[in-house]
Amino acid sequence: MENDEHIKWMKEAMKMAEEALAAGEVPVGCVFVRDERVIAGARNRTNELRNATRHAELEAIDFILANEELTPEPSKYPLSTTSLYVTVEPCIMCASALRQMGIKQVFYGCGNDRFGGCGSVLGVNKGVEHPVHPSYQATGGFCREEAILILRRFYITENTNAPVPRSKANRVLKTEIDPLTADEAS
């Protein structure tokens, strides 16, 4: 597939991340694409639902599985013809869920240094051997700078709202991007 095509879908995922930011959530968004169209889009809802498992990917998976048109019958690997575009590398929890659902492939924006499950911390997508579930390819770097900058926008606001505000110097939005990974991914 052309790079432009990947970027087109990643822009849709970024829209979901923007929605998360507006709602006061860590800005991570995703879309699932099947047969050249978005079948589900979601964003992080952990604060809203007070549930740390409500990451964008799992929100979208729940929607897909509950929708009779998208999942007409039970299947061992309901996402085998579906690709995921997500602004931040899936965490270990989501990377595992995606493997158990048989996801076709994953494209992400920036890496997740803290808890990345597609290589940054653990290679749940394929580095880790599993006797049953097929591995999947995960490729980063699509709209990476946008993905990092929106995370920084979130954390800078969070710092401003802290009971003891940090110095102004810390609140200046850093716009230069380090070459490898995001430093503020959740």
Catalytically active residues are: 57
Helices (H), the chain: 3-22, 46-49, 56-66, 92-100, 144-160, 168-171
Interaction mask 127-156, Zn ion, x per CB under 5 A: ------------------------------
Widest Cα–Cα separation across the chain? 56
**Interface segment toward Zn ion; rule CB under 5 A; list 31-39, 51-59, 135-143, 154-162:** 51-59
The residue (of 102 and 163) whose beta carbon lies closer to Zn ion is 102
CB-wise, 55 or 144, nearer to Zn ion? 55
Among 33, 39, 79, 94, binds Zn ion (CB under 5 A): 94
- Taking contact as CB under 5 A, which single stretch among the options 4-12, 66-74, 85-93, 168-176 is the one that binds Zn ion? 85-93
| 20: nearest Cα among 161, 114, 147 | 147
In which order are the strands placed within the sheet that holds 105-110? Answer: 37-43, 29-34, 83-88, 105-110, 137-139
Strands 83-88, 137-139: parallel, antiparallel or unpaired by DSSP?
A: unpaired
Q: Is 55 in the site for Zn ion (CB under 5 A)?
A: yes
Work out the burial of residue 156: count CB atoms within 10 Å of its CB; fewer than 13 is exposed, 13-18 middle, 19 or more buried: middle
Site string for Zn ion, 9-48 (x = CB under 5 A): ----------------------------------------
Query: Which positions lie near Zn ion, rule CB under 5 A?
Result: 55, 91, 94
